[in-house]
Amino acid sequence: MNRNNLLAALLIALILGLWEFFVHILAVPVFILPPPSSIFTTAVIQAPRILPHAVITLTEILMGIGLALCTAVPLAIIMFAKPALEKAFAPFLVASQAIPVFALAPLLVVWLGYGIASKVFMAWVIIFFPICISLLEGLKSCDPEFKILFRLMGASFFKKLMLLYWPWALPRFFAGLKVGVTVATIGAVIGEWVGAQQGLGFLMIQSNARLQVDLVFAAILWLTAMGLSMWWIVGILEKRIIKWN
């Protein structure tokens, strides 16, 4: 464990320790704020109950990521190839971020139903923007001298994209993807809060109504672990693919 990791671990331990200490000293009821020990215990003991919900939420997130990749990557490339289209699409892209996702969620449930589709769509709305914009900025950041070199070689746009622009943009693309996968949980959970029959968001709402606050926190812990795992996996992929950095 390096120095930075050690500091982070110590900080987390300190926060959890203080939390545990004050909850016990102040005798805070479990249904208001359970201590971390109780949350961890619930997260483990209740795992058989939480797991099916987590699988559903994870499926929604992964489908959202897949959908975002399938749409954001081609759109970023099209906007890069045709700057006029970038100008045309830019207001819509910005607007997609300006509209609060919470405001969209009830409508999406009405339009797409209580099933998985509305949650996948919510996750997609959130992930799409960071991937699309970071990839576009990455493509645009290519050194003009390389563009001259490739033009002198008589390279087609497709060849330039494959050999030059895409590898050039990869570090920024991965930066966007990392942001995307970590915020994807927000989209899926909001979708589940508004209307769902399963998923971690649904479990949280149900447990909250029954004052099972430790289970609410356990679900949040699982969500956090899922987000961190996806961030970690993308980081590993990034290191494997971008070997030259």
Binding site for other proteins (CB under 8 A): 145-146, 148-156, 159-160, 163-164, 167, 242-245
Amino acid at residue number 64: G
Q: Which is nearer to other proteins, 124 or 165 (CB)?
A: 165
Closest approach of Cβ 135 to other proteins, in Å? Answer: 16
Q: Which is nearer to other proteins, 28 or 155 (CB)?
A: 155
Closest approach of Cβ 166 to other proteins, in Å? Answer: 10
Q: What is the DSSP letter of 100?
A: -
- Give, rounded to a whole angstrom, the gap between the first and last alpha carbons of the chain: 23
Closest approach of Cβ 69 to other proteins, in Å? Answer: 21
Tell me how long the chain is.
245
Distance CA 180, CA 123 (A): 9
Distance CA 182, CA 231 (A): 6
Q: Which is nearer to other proteins, 114 or 146 (CB)?
A: 146
Q: Which is nearer to other proteins, 163 or 183 (CB)?
A: 163
Judged by phi (left if over 0) then psi (alpha if -120 to 50, else beta), residue 199 lies in left
Closest approach of Cβ 78 to other proteins, in Å? Answer: 21
Closest approach of Cβ 148 to other proteins, in Å? Answer: 6
Q: How many CA atoms lie within 13 A of 204 on its CB side?
A: 21
Q: Which is nearer to other proteins, 169 or 223 (CB)?
A: 169
Distance CA 61, CA 168 (A): 27
